[in-house]
């Protein structure tokens, strides 16, 4: 099943995905939809280097020559976690901006949003990485403040987190803060399934539906999302 993306404006969405489900690919395909519509996209890399994200985006036919530094921006938090300057690759500031700590992430988001105009679409991949390097209360506070700021000032935020690696209390807290929750998982036959668990202000049928990651002409995929 091929689904089409239509997230509400001015909202914060928590995407929860099972390991190996293709959550990053899912989010890159959503980013492509926004870029194709001429919107501004910010991608915050927390557990991958900007070069790896750029390579993946190339596989999704995102026209980086036309988008990167114009209406697509990357905020690199992951490099600061590596602790080695040897891992750092230089990019033009207008394309990739460095964040040395979690406070720097929202500083850069705010800067880009004011430069480009609003609304902006922001992807945070992933909160699970923040939990590895910070205490839980610090990450929860970051999520609460960031979700509120994006909703009230900037546009739409999609925060991702890996399923099964955090305690239920933490995940429930995140879900309570978010305006909406999207879940991706495998069924018993290892088919990919998704559901919109809830979305504030949008009536939904809370049921699991199949989705696929199908290869296109260059061997990559575009999993997309739609609800009414």
pLDDT digits (tens, 9 = 90+) for 31-71: 999 999 999 999 999 999 999 999 999 998 999 999 999 99
How many domains would you assign to the chain? 1
- Angle at which helix 102-116 crosses helix 136-149, to 10 degrees, equals 10
Q: Is residue 227 part of a domain?
A: no
Domain encompassing residue 186 = 11-210
**Would you say residue 84 has pLDDT above 60?**
no
The encoded tokens of residue 222 equal 């575009």
Among the listed residues 204, 217, 216, the one whose alpha carbon sits nearest the alpha carbon of residue 225: 204
**What pLDDT does 88 receive?**
57
Q: Is residue 35 part of a domain?
A: yes
Q: Is residue 219 part of a domain?
A: no
**What pLDDT does 211 receive?**
84
Mean model confidence pLDDT for the chain? 87
Q: Is residue 228 part of a domain?
A: no
Q: Is residue 221 part of a domain?
A: no
Q: Is residue 1 part of a domain?
A: no
Q: Is residue 223 part of a domain?
A: no
**What pLDDT does 222 receive?**
43
**Would you say residue 94 has pLDDT above 90?**
no
CATH number at residue 108: 3.40.50.300
Higher pLDDT, 169 or 222: 169
Q: Assess contact for 180 and 14: CB atoms under 8 A.
A: yes
**Which residues have a Cβ under 8 Å from the Cβ of 206 and sit 6 or more positions away?**
195, 196, 197, 198
Measure the CA–CA gap between 24 and 125, rounded to whole angstroms: 8
Q: Is residue 2 part of a domain?
A: no
Reported as a single tens digit per residue, the pLDDT across 193-207 is 999 998 988 877 678
Instruction: Find the helix or strand (DSSP H, E) in which 128 lies.
Output: helix 127-133
């Amino acid at each position: 099943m091929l689904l089409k993306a239509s997230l509400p404006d001015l909202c914060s969405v928590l995407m929860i995905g099972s390991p190996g489900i293709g959550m990053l690919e899912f989010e890159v395909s959503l980013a492509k939809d926004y870029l194709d519509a001429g919107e501004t996209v910010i991608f915050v890399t927390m557990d991958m280097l900007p070069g790896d994200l750029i390579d993946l985006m190339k596989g999704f036919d995102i026209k980086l020559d036309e988008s990167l530094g114009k209406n697509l921006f990357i905020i690199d938090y992951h490099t600061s976690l590596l602790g080695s300057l040897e891992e750092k690759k230089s990019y033009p500031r207008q394309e990739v901006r460095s964040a040395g700590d979690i406070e720097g992430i929202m500083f850069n988001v705010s800067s880009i949003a004011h430069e480009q105009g609003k609304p902006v679409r922001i992807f945070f991949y992933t909160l699970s990485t923040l939990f590895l390097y910070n205490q839980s209360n610090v990450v929860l506070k970051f999520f609460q403040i960031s979700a509120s700021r994006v909703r009230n000032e900037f546009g739409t935020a999609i925060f991702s987190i890996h399923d099964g690696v955090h305690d239920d209390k933490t995940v429930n807290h995140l879900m309570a803060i978010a305006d909406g929750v999207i879940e991706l998982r495998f069924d018993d036959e290892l088919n990919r399934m998704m559901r919109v668990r809830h979305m504030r202000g949008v009536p939904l049928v809370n049921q699991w539906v199949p989705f696929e990651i199908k290869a296109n002409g260059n061997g990559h995929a575009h999993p997309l999302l739609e609800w009414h």
